[in-house]
Structure 1
């Protein structure tokens, strides 16, 4: 089954931070980042890391190309050809009138 990446800022903040990432920026870029970090009540490095990780997670989740070997490809096609029956909660959801039509 496919595994999704769950954004988890707690995971990032509780993990030991022993790697260093260095980056160069113009004074104006740093000023914008510093201002945004202050608005969120974060240190600049914490703000930058949170934003970078969020973007990285989005990039991973938006990946549209994936490679499968022959066996995985056959299993994938079989799953597409025989989807599971809709669960009762899903059927109930489809029976409800959409909020925008109320």
Structure 2
């Protein structure tokens, strides 16, 4: 199981001295949009951006590493890994090509 680090209120208080800055250059319209969204939620720009970035980062990592299957689907998945189809003509042609960086 993948563990995604999260900040709890108690860990946030202990790590205050470990905070680091991130400087971003963004268009004025994007900054205004972020500010409006943050205000709608009663948050500061920093709170909104950090929470949004953390949520997106977690989603990306989970999409890359975690998926759930029922028993039937899992067995089919394992079977596909254990018994891949034989290489067809397109795969054989691709694998016999010289990579572009070796020209």
Give the structure-2-normalised TM-score: 0.52
For 2:4, the equivalent position in structure 1 comes to 5
Cα distance, 1:8 vs structure 2: 5.3
Matched residue count: 66
Structure 1 residue ranges (4+ consecutive) displaced by more than 6 angstroms after TM superposition: none
**Does the aligned pair in 2 maintain the 1:9–1:50 contact within 8 Å?**
no
| Alpha-carbon shift at residue 19 of structure 1 (Å) | 0.5
Gaps in structure 2 of 5+ consecutive residues: 67-77, 80-103
Equivalent position of 1:21 in the other structure? 22
Deviations 1:29-88 (A, max 9, x none): 0010000000000000110010001000001101149xxxxxxxxxxxxxx79xxxxxxx
Point out the structure with the larger helix share.
2
| Residue ranges of structure 1 left out of the alignment (5+ in a row) | 66-79, 82-102
Cα separation, 2, equivalents of 1:40 and 1:31? 14
Q: Take 1:9 and 1:47, find their aligned partners in 2: how far apart are those partners?
A: 16
2:33 counterpart residue number: 32
